Structure 1
């Protein structure tokens, strides 16, 4: 169930929301994908603005730490029979975002950004496939590449499976955009508390993963 389009859509909305939230409310930092932060780190390093270098360096380190923690969770709980290890990562995201919602804006933005970067790395590392195809829920570049590639392959081969895969990738991108739009709107009206909406989305994903699919594609790999 953790690899279904429904879960992918919920997490993509969350990813888009958090990108808008961190950029608009938490000091113009990209908490999801670290490419922007790495570029800004380099720009400020070249300009000798070392305080700003540290400001962008910390979320990058937090993102890397999240990857390590995600792998630790997977190795520790992959054989657990009552709960899927991916549900544990979603539960961790929920708890951390709940705390972020009550971190005041301004002085403590760096703490909020570190927390968001950490949970986004948990998510991107834990949820890497939808219906067997590699994808990401916290960034769109790879999804856009895959969607367009599959669309081209459909044009050449007329294979409907390639078309469906392309539409699936474009669908995830649309849900990401939807999340960013909702995030921008909610950030304007509810400020730092708007991230509670992401908590609701994560809780929904957590509960949905208890449902057993009627025809799992790879039942023998359900614990992977």
Structure 2
């Protein structure tokens, strides 16, 4: 029996968000001071390294995106409870997607003298995205980082090779599909940054808006 998922938890939406996630991660590294703003593991490592070397100002450079990411999660949880999962003209995730688009649009026009602020804003937007969209086709996933997806996808690959579980093969496809799309986003960001520079961030809004529009299909079905 085919499972039916909420539109915001379907694979097409997940792929669009992963495309934007890879795009923004490459954007922040290439155009905003070599910071991986969408996932904080690298920033935490660089924070520790700079602390160990006594580079306090550089350590702060990596600490601020981490704090912004934390703030993004807190704001997302607050708004999710305020907006409600079913109330209003839009789905609560659509409101948060619009907020993410506004933040990214503002980042595109910040001068390079404000690169730290740009990374803070990208980290905040990334936290909003990853905390709002956690599951696709029944699989717990992330769209702004790949480590967890790689582990889960490979685990299901093992299940399929060992027991030929059809469900495991389908879930492996979800995780590896998200990883591949994330990389495609990074490649696109790298290519476009040669011509668009800091305004390359505007392109990341496109997949987010498509995901936003797709979610209206669910709202129409509910009426």
Q: For 1:209, what is the secondary structure of its paired residue?
A: helix
Aligned position for 2:41: 35
Residues 1:80 and 2:87 are matched in the alignment: yes
CA shift at 1:81, angstroms?
3.9
The two structures have a TM-score, normalised by structure 2, of 0.93
Unaligned runs of 5+ in 2: 1-6
Instruction: Report what 2:51 is aligned to.
Output: 45
Distance 1:157 1:212 in 2: 36
Out of 175, 189, 213, the position equivalent to 2:195 is 189
- Separation in 1 of the partners of 2:88 and 2:33? 42
Q: State the match for 2:15 in structure 1.
A: 9
* Offset at residue 214 of structure 1 (A): 11
Alignment gaps of 5+ in structure 1: 220-224
Cα RMSD of the aligned pairs, angstroms, is 1.5
Provide the TM-score with structure 1 as the length reference. Answer: 0.93
CA-CA distance at 1:80 after TM superposition: 1.2
Deviation larger for 39-48 or 72-81 = 72-81
* Equivalent in the alignment of 1:222: none
For 2:94, what is the secondary structure of its paired residue?
helix
Q: How big is each residue's C-alpha offset from its partner over 1:147-176, in whole Å with a ceiling of 9 and x where there is no partner?
A: 000011111221111111101110110000
**Which residue is equivalent to 1:24?**
30
Deviations 1:164-189 (A, max 9, x none): 11011101100000000001111111
Give the Cα–Cα distance (whole angstroms) in 2 for the partners of residues 111 and 136 of structure 1: 24
CA contact (8 A) 2:25 2:38 kept: yes
